[in-house]
Structure 1
Amino acid sequence: MTSERVERRLAAVLASDVAGYSRLMGADEIGTLAALKKLRREMIDPAIAAHNGRIVKTTGDGMLVEFASAVDAVTCAVTVQEKMTQNRDKAGPPIQFRIGINVGDIIVDGDDIYGDGVNIAARIESECAPGEVYLSDDAYRHVRGKTMLAFDDLGERWLKNIDRPVRVYAGRLVSPSTKGITLPERIGRPLPLPDKPSVVVLPFQNMSADPEQEYVADGIVEDITTALSRFKALFVIARNSSFTYKGRAVDVKQVGRELGVRYVLEGSVRKATGRLRITGQLIDAATGSHIWADRFDGDVADIFQLQDQVTERVVGAIAPAIERAEIERARLKPTESLDAYSLYLRGLSKFYKFSGQANAEALRLFKIAIDVDPDFAAAYGRAALCYVSAKAFGWSSDLSSEVVEVKRFSQRAVGLGKDDAMALSLSAWALAYGAGDLQSGSSLIDRALAMNSNLADSWHYGGWIKNWLGEREIAIERFAHAIRLSPLDPLIAIAKAGAAHCHFYLGRYDEAMSWAALAFQDDANNQAVLRIVAASNALAGRTDEAREAVALLCEVNPTLRLSNLKEVLGPYRQEDLLLYQEAMRRAGLPE
């Protein structure tokens, strides 16, 4: 006598229901049913299909969905909940979903599924707060570091009819699209605080009579941020994220929630008749209370000393255990020449406008700064970065004639900036992307991160370099770390695209598409984003979507062809380049 074979498989299981469904039906039965059907038709079912899910069954207000990928399941769930939040104020019954997700072994019986993997998902859903997405620890392990989501550890829970405690996590979107959304609406729930004192330096207000002095205030903030980031005992948000608040009236409690920091430093700068005044106040973002407030006055020639004083006061207030040696290390001055420093700040102001014309002007200013002070390491690094940025963003059609300059500026920055993590990082990126020297670039990134683990740029550049070297899992971790240090970065799409490239080369085309979709939300015109959307769709067999992305790509860069694709991709290994070219050929990129 033989027993019937039972089909089993590993799957990500999503269980959902409507919070307070009986109450809603009692108040408005017809309206609730109509609203629920509309939500399924217009929002939920399309989201499930887009993330390759299979609806197993629906039971009144409930739904059971199977996914082959945990990343797809979680991304789909969080996307639905975010859309529900955005539509909550519209007329109709106030419907909220609870969603639970588990990864486990399931029993397949026809179109239905059973087993422990299903039961745990359903029990987690019953624990879930309305409007939230809860994951089991097994699901969390499958998605950790692979999405642009944040996860809060809710601890172990004893679930009904489950014979062991299950650790539960709440998942949420970190940085959805900023298009058409005012800043306070970007992130509705707080990021978890790091395990060490965390701080962001907001843009200082320019109190000078001359608006042209804005670059001085911005430069001071950048230098204070850099000085603070040298302290390994601190977690410091990157400049690119902090400057998204520039020109806004902000609520420091909201800033703390959006960036996941405990402390906020804000202030002002006044420059007049050779004198400089910096005011600063350090605020506890959790309570809104002031830790300290002070002003620092001196001659313009004392600018570095004044910045040191502000930095020391911040460090002394929030990390008193930091060793004196680290404080002395943070006093490193970029240059002794105030003229060179002023030119450098002007160059930074231009560089951060992220346009071809501004980039060319920034390069000119950095070169003049070098002429004034030939030992200014950071200026050499920034000049090299301008060259490679022109290539990366399509502002220059050919970098081959400038490779000699890239190497010269980069090597000079390394020689002068042995203790300057930013100079080393800029040089690493320029040498790797601009000159194809991956080994030197990788070594410099490692040195920079050993000096300063708070530099988002180092993690970002290091992610791309590891990707080109074929070390994709390490690259994914570096991209995730870069995004946590700078969650509102205007260039965050490039880091997400980097993670998508890594998954693409690991053969995880669905996960690559999940990352690419997040990147596309942030910057739908970025060439790196459009390329990986096209390539991932092509190898996943979604030809129409791949060709649509190529059509957009050719609008952004009409000169791009398979024959010159290598010039913009970066220094990939030959086998990686051939795979990328084949994917783009299938996507319809012209020869």
Structure 2
Amino acid sequence: LDDHFRLNANLVEVETGFVAWSRRYSGGFTELADVQDELTRQIVGHLVGGLVRHEERQALGRGTSSLEAYHLVLRGRYEMNRYDPAGNARARSLFQQAIDLDRNFARAWSNLSRAYNHEWRYRWSDAPDRSMDLAQICAEHAIGLDPSDARAHGELGWVQLYRGELDRALATYETALRHNPNDSEILSQLAIVHSYAGRTQEAEALLERAIQLEPDTPDILFWRLGDVYFQKGDYRRVIQVVQKMRDPGEGARLLASAHAHLDMLDEAYRWRDEVLRR
């Protein structure tokens, strides 16, 4: 129809033909401005990250010492995301190896901060207070090496959040967002700060924005949004959003309690059993 449009947007690397990003849009011409805004968000929030990952994959094949350090960080992140004590210990070792290769590698320091934070948070450390102190030291050192690295500021904010320093965490995450306003992880962590402070409306808006920036939304964002709905007492929406996770069982604790609040006891017991099993 005359008042409708269809748009195919593609970005292709000329030398290799690599399709970095592709998307289709359609609608009425009155929606064109909204589509332009959405296109911008996708480019900044997802496309840039995809291009960086593609360039990194190319660079990793060249095998210089700095790229070896980067490869160690990638391996460390994989191990850290196992969320178990052995994996976290391996991650910490890999991050330290990367630092030994390049003492000025800010991202290695910020990831080491997260590994120490996990030690404290999940009580995998024999000296949890020392682990949290080291998490802060590493995050602050990463910022000193690269003040423009949003993730470095994010790690410091993460430490401040779990120390209960909500005002400091809020200011630190606002700084992180100034350096990268479309980082979904930073947005979701800032949402947690607002959530802990009882500002659930702000937390909900930030998480919805983070989800919009992630075409392939990770489960953690749905889980965090479900947690915000739980704080608001909107238990039906808790169930709806957690069920969007690829593995809703990761949200079993929320599902068990939300069903119990709704007097849906058969489902509550079923998800309670899943919590205990896991």
- TM superposition score normalised by structure 1: 0.37
Secondary structure, in 3 states, of the residue corresponding to 1:404? Answer: helix
Residue 165 (structure 2) aligns with: 437
Change (3 A) 1:390 1:555: farther
Distance 1:268 1:543, change over 3 A: closer
Letter in 2 for 1:555: R
Question: Within 1, Cα distance between the matches of 2:226 and 2:256?
Answer: 11
2:188 pairs with 1:460 = yes
Task: State how 1:20-419 maps to structure 2 within 5 Å.
Answer: 194-197=37-40, 234-237=44-47, 239=49, 269=58, 276=62, 338-339=65-66, 342-353=68-79, 354-355=81-82, 356=84, 357-389=86-118, 396=124, 399-400=128-129, 402-419=131-148
Residue in 2 aligned with 1:428?
157
Alignment of 1:533 onto 2:255: yes
Alpha-carbon distance in 2 for matches of 1:386, 1:465: 20
Q: Which residue of 1 aligns with 2:10?
A: none
For the 8 Å contact 1:509–1:540, the answer to whether it is kept is yes
Secondary structure, aligned partner of 1:236: helix
Identical residues among aligned pairs (%): 20
Distance 1:464 1:153 in 2: 35
Residue 472 (1) aligns with residue 261 (2): no
> Structure 1 residue 544 and structure 2 residue 266: aligned?
yes
Change (3 A) 1:541 1:271: closer
Match of 2:58, SS?
A: strand
Q: Is the 8 A contact 1:459 1:478 kept in 2?
A: yes
SS at match of 1:405: helix
How far apart are residue 199 of structure 1 and its match? 6.2
Residue 524 of structure 1 and its aligned partner are, at CA, apart by 3.2
Q: Is the 8 A contact 1:381 1:423 kept in 2?
A: yes
Contact 2:117 2:132 in 1 (8 A): no
| 1:545/1:153 CA distance change after superposition, 3 Å | farther
CA distance in structure 1 between the partners assigned to 2:248 and 2:171 by the alignment:
33
- For residue 422 of structure 1, report the CA deviation from its aligned partner: 1.8
One-letter identity of the residue aligned with 2:134:
E
Deviations 1:389-426 (A, max 9, x none): 4566x583774452222222223223333221121112
So what's the TM-score if we normalise by structure 2?
A: 0.73
State the alpha-carbon separation in 2 of the partners of residues 199 and 237 from structure 1: 6
1:347–1:363 contact (8 Å) kept in structure 2: no
Relative to 1, partners in 2 of residues 1:524 and 1:348: Cα closer, same or farther, differing over 3 Å? same
The answer to whether structure 1 residue 487 and structure 2 residue 276 are counterparts is no
User: Are 2:69 and 2:102, in contact at CA under 8 Å, matched by a contact in 1?
Assistant: no
- CA–CA distance in structure 2, aligned partners of residues 404 and 266 of structure 1: 35
Root-mean-square deviation over aligned CA pairs:
3.5
Q: Provide the rounded CA distance (Å) in 1 between the counterparts of 2:212 and 2:76.
A: 26
Alpha-carbon offset, residue 193 of structure 1 = 6.6
CA shift in 2, pair 1:378/1:271, >3 Å? closer
User: In the alignment, is the contact (CA less than 8 A) between 1:432 and 1:441 conserved in 2?
Assistant: yes
The answer as to 2:230 corresponding to 1:508 is no
Structure-1 separation of matches of 2:70 and 2:123: 21
Q: 1:343 to 1:436 in 2, by over 3 A?
A: farther
Change (3 A) 1:410 1:545: same
Q: Deviations over 1:115-160 (max 9, x none)?
A: xxxxxxxxxxxxxxxxxxxxxxxxxxxxxxxxxxxxx97699xxxx
Equivalent-residue separation in structure 2 for 1:366 and 1:546 (angstroms): 41
Deviation at 1:483, TM superposition (A): 1.8
Give the number of the structure whose residues are more often helix, by fraction: 2
Residues 269 and 454 of structure 1, relative CA distance in 2, 3 Å threshold: same
Q: Deviations over 1:221-266 (max 9, x none)?
A: xxxxxxxxxxxxx443475xx59xx9xxxxxxxxxxxxxxxxxx78
- The residue number in structure 2 matching 1:449 is 177
Distance 2:262 2:183 in 1: 35
Q: 1:500·1:511 contact (CA, 8 Å) conserved in 2? A: yes
Q: Which runs of 5+ in 2 are unaligned?
A: 1-25
The count of aligned residue pairs is: 246
Structure 1: where are the runs of 5+ without partners? 1-151, 157-166, 168-191, 201-233, 247-264, 277-299, 302-337, 557-591
Whichever residue aligns with residue 548 of structure 1, its letter is: R
Task: Look at both structures and tell me which one has the larger radius of gyration over its CA atoms.
Answer: 1
Distance 1:397 1:271 in 2: 33
